[in-house]
Amino acid sequence: MSYILRYFQLRFNMAAHSLTHHTREIVRYSFFLVFFLFVSVFVFFFLYKAFKFFNSFEIVGEFLIIKLLSMIFFIFFIFLILSNINSIIKWFFTKNDLPFVLTNPVSLADVYVTRSIEALFESSWAFLFFSIPVLLAYYLATGRFDFTFLFSCLLLIPFIMIPHGIAFIMVMVLGRILSPKVIKNTFSFLSLMLITVLVVTFRAIQIEKLARPESFAYIYEYMRFLSIPTHPLIPTNPFVASIVYFTRGENPSFWLDMGLFLSTACALFVISYWVHEYFYMACYTNIKSSSTRVKRDVLGRIFSVFPQRAKHLFLKEIKNLKRDPKEWSQVFLILALIFVYVYNFKLFPKERSPLPTVFLESLLTFLNMGLLTFVISAICVRFVYASFQLEGRPFWILLSSPVSMKELYIKKLMLYIPPILLLALILNYFSNKYIAPPDFLYYVSFGYSILIAFTAPVISLFFGTKDVSFREAPNPYGGFGGIVSMLVMIIYAGITIAILVWSSYWLLLFSVRGTTPPFHLTMRFIGSCVILFVGTITMIRFMVGKTLENLKNIEL
């Protein structure tokens, strides 16, 4: 027990030291806290409205609420298993301090408890953060808010222990035959596939139909819409049943459900410990993966059209991406997002809108530009923002070679801009196909797509090279700087779109009527385009200059 206490005391001291000595850390954590609070408030209001809406149905309302609650917690449950797998592999197999801990007289039980708590917290804090607003929305919408809300919140602790236990047993048993790295890659791939399938499914089933129950021929169809696995042994079912009992008091099998739920959590904790005691050390020695032999270099032949240096700089980036299943499988997620993006416009009921067609088409076109910015900026943060940080410690190879940072920067832009431009144009083409804007707006949105495809990578690299540290583990998802760069891109897009709306709308009306617009309106539009172009070029020049300065100041 003393080791466990000392361990967490040390961890607490490290966190306190980090916060008291690094103002940036405080700013970073405060920013994330505000961001997550904002998202959880959004989750609360969204679900409150949904629960309220369901509650207004007689007879089936309560049933629909339970179905939705079960669906939410079932999805959470699946994601908790997958995120626990990653955290368990990290804390039990790949953390740098493990050789130190395991070569000291620390019992396996202490290792199990400390690492399990770490992995459990790391994989489940976001769930706790978002599930409390879900429960609060449920209690308030059903008008049954009382002290039992606290019991429901307390039940979240055994809830997170169940996926942790399942993930732990899976990792240890698979760890006997596969290396943790293979397990991690496989499950990361599966997680992404699952997210992809969920994104596509949610969109394809047209979840907005829930708001229009009259669009279903039978009530049975409506309920089938919300169907999820309902076997009593699926842990989310007794959990939701217990919460329902707290609010309604109408569950005859409450004690059985509660007993089943709590005993499953406790049993999994104990079984995990046994599995840990039996398998852990054998699995730990299985960490080292064997070499993988590369047979053919197809990419090398494809890129042979480029000059030697550019070819190998591009190949290095692409091979790093291609040989990591976690990275390339994200392409599926991007494809799913493209599908959802275009499908949204396909399903948009333009004909039912009370707004005049030209106004609606303009509105949709400009909205499309905003959404396009959001998608492009998210992709830039994921792939471009972190591209220097992801070089990691092997960056010495580049820094000690006769290659300038300017050349490296230009090559990165050359590599990333074409696919981003292609993506922007594809999204723009297909969404406009369904929006069917007038020709004039079509060209405006086409020009905007090109503009954003060139500007977004520059903004990403500007923020991605600020205080880049190759000693720290790279954060491919951007972190604090990534969010800031995304916000800057969105602000830039907001200003650009506002200027375009202001300068082009009246011009558009004249063009639709087939009459010649007054000279001052044409000049206003041309002037705005010039201002936008000059403004963007000035911003790009400033950012390129600063990025090169950042790169020149890199020391290893």
End-to-end CA distance of the chain: 41
**Is 319 a binder of another protein (CB under 8 A)?**
yes
286 residue type, one letter = N
Tokens of 196: 């992809």
Binding mask 536-555 for another protein (x = CB under 8 A): -------------------x
**Is 291 a binder of another protein (CB under 8 A)?**
yes
Nearest distance, CB of residue 232 and another protein, angstroms: 45
Closest to 10 (Cα-Cα) out of 118, 103, 84, 125: 118
# residues contacting another protein (CB under 8 A): 34
Nearest distance, CB of residue 122 and another protein, angstroms: 24
Q: Check: CB of residue 323 under 8 Å from CB of residue 299.
A: no
Residues 404-423 that bind another protein (CB under 8 A): 404
Nearest distance, CB of residue 305 and another protein, angstroms: 13
Binding-site member from 37, 397, 450, 534 for another protein (CB under 8 A): 397
Binding-site member from 229, 392, 418, 518 for another protein (CB under 8 A): 392
In this structure, what DSSP letter does residue 290 have? P
Of residues 339 and 395, the one with the C-beta less far from another protein = 395
**Is 398 a binder of another protein (CB under 8 A)?**
yes
**Is 103 a binder of another protein (CB under 8 A)?**
no
Nearest distance, CB of residue 84 and another protein, angstroms: 25
Q: Check: CB of residue 55 under 8 Å from CB of residue 171.
A: no
- How far is it, in rounded angstroms, from Cα 40 to Cα 457? 30
**Is 323 a binder of another protein (CB under 8 A)?**
yes
- How far is it, in rounded angstroms, from Cα 185 to Cα 88? 13
Stretch near another protein under the rule CB under 8 A, chosen from 99-107, 232-240, 286-294, 503-511:
286-294
- How far is it, in rounded angstroms, from Cα 487 to Cα 490? 5
478 residue type, one letter = G
Closest to 69 (Cα-Cα) out of 42, 45, 51: 51
SS3 label, residue 307: coil
Residues 475-534 that bind another protein (CB under 8 A): none
Name the H helices within 465-478: none
Binding-site member from 403, 501, 509, 544 for another protein (CB under 8 A): 403
Stretch near another protein under the rule CB under 8 A, chosen from 80-88, 104-112, 268-276, 309-317:
309-317
Binding-site member from 103, 285, 400, 515 for another protein (CB under 8 A): 400
Work out whether the CA dihedral 498, 452, 331, 187 comes out positive or negative. Answer: negative
Q: Check: CB of residue 61 under 8 Å from CB of residue 226.
A: no
Closest to 344 (Cα-Cα) out of 430, 407, 420, 447: 430
Tokens of 272: 């995990």
Binding-site member from 99, 394, 419, 545 for another protein (CB under 8 A): 394
Tokens of 385: 């923002």
Residues 427-446 that bind another protein (CB under 8 A): none
**Is 326 a binder of another protein (CB under 8 A)?**
no
Residues 338-377 that bind another protein (CB under 8 A): none
The residues of the shown chain that bind another protein, judged by CB under 8 A, are: 288-295, 297, 308-309, 311-313, 315-316, 319-320, 323-324, 392-394, 396-404, 555-556
